A and B are shown apart, each in its own frame.
Chain A
């Protein structure tokens, strides 16, 4: 896909995010809109995956550690062809494959059940460790939220990832600076997060604009450093692409009403 096509896919996924959350009357649009370029870059360019064979043992894995960003993940998986896009209408409904948080046993393409913050990073670390052990050539990606880095488990996993020299593991931090109760700085400062991951032994790559898919791709395509896990810190905008949602803490876990949906979709046409 060309950059232009990838950007168009991002726009489509953003429309999906708005429609899914509006239809469901709940969900997490803010952090889904911030992580859109990261997920599109991974599934439509970087990862070795085949939606027709979602259980291929050698496929690359993605663990959405910030599991609440399901509208973004389902938009990407649906557009990639893991399930019919009509399924998105059933997001968060009874018996749906599209649970509020990712369910690996219900939704094709979901590699790990997540939603309890911190655990996805650790699951991905175990996957990468297991892959090395059985000499599976796959690469494991975990998409982390910034607020999530307040969980101790992130750092337990990071220590293990460096200890086991997991150069087949990449953390991607969706650093939008906000969480439920306020900005990261108000709730619990992350400090110099790049330096923290570097100190834990990661190859740290900083992406100045994580909503610029070209920048995200450049970072994701950098070769791994042998013996080191990688952490790509993407500076993103919560609610990206919707004027009234951008950088608004309140849109973390709130669905747009119909009027707001119409306005958002209009902005995504342009």
Chain B
């Protein structure tokens, strides 16, 4: 592991790398380029960065129009505004399955001090339900870079959920869209998780190992399409299934996993995430603790 880094930073770096290889890549921002970290792309390719002003809906539909001219637009803003431009994403982009990418940063509670108005806990639920939308939430900077490159290669809409908080960067791992990655083997229980909760879940597994419980941790970076085979295999093997997410327990990974397991696998199952409430201001880790999402709290829940 190397120094902590936010996935939004990797997003900006990945776009610059992509931009050098592919002149069809264009980036749109809604007055947040310095926060979504696309400022580096703007500096490198000023004629391929399109500022849309504080108008997220127009950014999305304009990007859609640009995609019909053969360009590959990456729309960048905060994940909390996914709802603001949602119907544009639904009707203009997803309905005709156009080639528009969404790099939405500052997802989840770990936005911290800006508070509940800016902490998206519903974006995955919104995006998962759209036919043809690919939803990816990378766990670290390396995975974020691979996810951005993969999104550009794919035809069709892709939602990338990115974080503000610098977190652990793991050693290089394989990445394939739609394929989960086993971060830690185990036999007594399995945690399915994604994003920055992967790091937390590995800490959970360490805590539980000290108590004699051997817990697998599976990184489900692609929320949709879900790696159903891997979910079923580990649920069957471990018998106890936990989902851990920095997202509402409604409509997120927990519900996606539940849909796969119901009627297929006999197991114990519990969703751990944001319990149908909005976030609030505070230091990122303090907010996580308030919502019961720190490693020791999750370990307690798993021990039941």
Q: Is B65's CB under 8 angstroms from A130's CB?
A: yes
Most chain B CB within 10 A, of A116, A128, A136, is at A116
CB-CB nearest in chain A for B94: A113
Instruction: Tell me if B64 is interfacial: C-beta within 8 Å of chain A.
Output: yes
How many residues from B make CB contacts under 8 Å with A?
Answer: 27
Whole-angstrom distance from the CB of A159 to the nearest CB of chain B? 7
Whole-angstrom distance from the CB of B63 to the nearest CB of chain A? 6
**Contacting residues, chain B, for A116 (C-beta < 8 A):** 87, 91-92
Contact mask B55-77 → A, CB, 8 Å, 1/0? 10110011111111111000000
Q: Is B65's CB under 8 angstroms from A129's CB?
A: yes
Interface residues on A, range: 20 to 34
In angstroms, Cα B69 to Cα A157, docked, is 17
In angstroms, Cα B83 to Cα A246, docked, is 40
Q: Is B62's CB under 8 angstroms from A157's CB?
A: yes
Instruction: Tell me if B153 is interfacial: C-beta within 8 Å of chain A.
Output: no
Q: Is A125's CB under 8 angstroms from B65's CB?
A: yes
Q: Is B96's CB under 8 angstroms from A156's CB?
A: no
Most chain A CB within 10 A, of B53, B63, B65, B66, is at B65
Instruction: Tell me if A231 is interfacial: C-beta within 8 Å of chain B.
Output: no
State which residues 252-284 of B face A: CB under 8 Å: none
Query: Do A113 and B92 contact each other (CB < 8 Å), given the known contacts A119-B61, A125-B62?
Result: yes
Instruction: Tell me if A232 is interfacial: C-beta within 8 Å of chain B.
Output: no
State which residues 139-179 of A face B: CB under 8 Å: 152-153, 156-157, 159-160, 163-164
Q: Is B53's CB under 8 angstroms from A123's CB?
A: no
Whole-angstrom distance from the CB of A190 to the nearest CB of chain B? 20
Query: Do A156 and B55 contact each other (CB < 8 Å), given the known contacts A123-B92, A126-B61?
Result: yes
In angstroms, Cα B62 to Cα A124, docked, is 7
Q: Is A123's CB under 8 angstroms from B61's CB?
A: yes
Q: Is B95's CB under 8 angstroms from A133's CB?
A: no
Q: Is B58's CB under 8 angstroms from A157's CB?
A: yes
Q: Is A126's CB under 8 angstroms from B65's CB?
A: yes
Instruction: Tell me if A57 is interfacial: C-beta within 8 Å of chain B.
Output: yes
Q: Is B55's CB under 8 angstroms from A134's CB?
A: no
Contact mask A114-128 → B, CB, 8 Å, 1/0? 011001001111111
**Contacting residues, chain B, for A46 (C-beta < 8 A):** none
Instruction: Tell me if A112 is interfacial: C-beta within 8 Å of chain B.
Output: yes
Contact mask B35-71 → A, CB, 8 Å, 1/0? 0000000000001101011010110011111111111
**Contacting residues, chain A, for B237 (C-beta < 8 A):** none
In angstroms, Cα B12 to Cα A9, docked, is 53
Does more than half of chain B's interface fall in helix, strand or loop, or is it mixed? Answer: helix
Whole-angstrom distance from the CB of A146 to the nearest CB of chain B? 20
Q: Which of A103, A125, A128, A133 contacts B71 (CB 8 A)?
A: A133
**Contacting residues, chain B, for A134 (C-beta < 8 A):** 69-71
Q: Is B62's CB under 8 angstroms from A153's CB?
A: no
Instruction: Tell me if B187 is interfacial: C-beta within 8 Å of chain A.
Output: no
**Contacting residues, chain B, for A63 (C-beta < 8 A):** 65
Most chain A CB within 10 A, of B52, B57, B62, B71, is at B62
Whole-angstrom distance from the CB of B120 to the nearest CB of chain A? 22
Query: Do A57 and B70 contact each other (CB < 8 Å), given the known contacts A133-B26, A153-B58, A160-B58?
Result: yes
**Contacting residues, chain A, for B91 (C-beta < 8 A):** 113, 115-116, 119
In angstroms, Cα B66 to Cα A116, docked, is 18
Does more than half of chain A's interface fall in helix, strand or loop, or is it mixed? Answer: helix
**Contacting residues, chain A, for B69 (C-beta < 8 A):** 127, 130-131, 133-134, 136
Q: Which of B57, B71, B87, B88 contacts A130 (CB 8 A)?
A: B71
Instruction: Tell me if A111 is interfacial: C-beta within 8 Å of chain B.
Output: yes
Q: Is B58's CB under 8 angstroms from A130's CB?
A: no
CB-CB nearest in chain A for B51: A163
Whole-angstrom distance from the CB of B132 to the nearest CB of chain A? 11
State which residues 68-118 of B face A: CB under 8 Å: 68-71, 87-88, 91-92, 95-97
Contact mask A215-246 → B, CB, 8 Å, 1/0? 00000000000000000000000000000000
Instruction: Tell me if A196 is interfacial: C-beta within 8 Å of chain B.
Output: no
Query: Do A119 and B62 contact each other (CB < 8 Å), given the known contacts A105-B97, A153-B57?
Result: no
Instruction: Tell me if A104 is interfacial: C-beta within 8 Å of chain B.
Output: yes
Q: Which of B47, B57, B95 contacts A156 (CB 8 A)?
A: B57
Whole-angstrom distance from the CB of A160 to the nearest CB of chain B? 6
CB-CB nearest in chain A for B68: A127
Q: Is A112's CB under 8 angstroms from B58's CB?
A: no
**Contacting residues, chain B, for A113 (C-beta < 8 A):** 91-92, 95-96
**Contacting residues, chain A, for B95 (C-beta < 8 A):** 103, 113
Q: Is A129's CB under 8 angstroms from B66's CB?
A: yes
In angstroms, Cα B49 to Cα A164, docked, is 12
Q: Is A153's CB under 8 angstroms from B61's CB?
A: yes
In angstroms, Cα B96 to Cα A133, docked, is 23
In angstroms, Cα B87 to Cα A164, docked, is 24
In angstroms, Cα B68 to Cα A103, docked, is 13
Jot down 10 A-B pairs with beta carbons below 8 A, ordered by A: A112-B96, A113-B91, A116-B92, A125-B58, A126-B67, A131-B69, A133-B69, A156-B53, A157-B58, A160-B53
B interface residues with partner A (beta carbon < 8 Å): 26, 47-48, 50, 52-53, 55, 57-58, 61-71, 87-88, 91-92, 95-97
A-B pairs, 10 with minimum CB distance: A126-B65, A126-B62, A130-B69, A122-B61, A156-B58, A130-B66, A127-B65, A156-B55, A113-B96, A123-B65
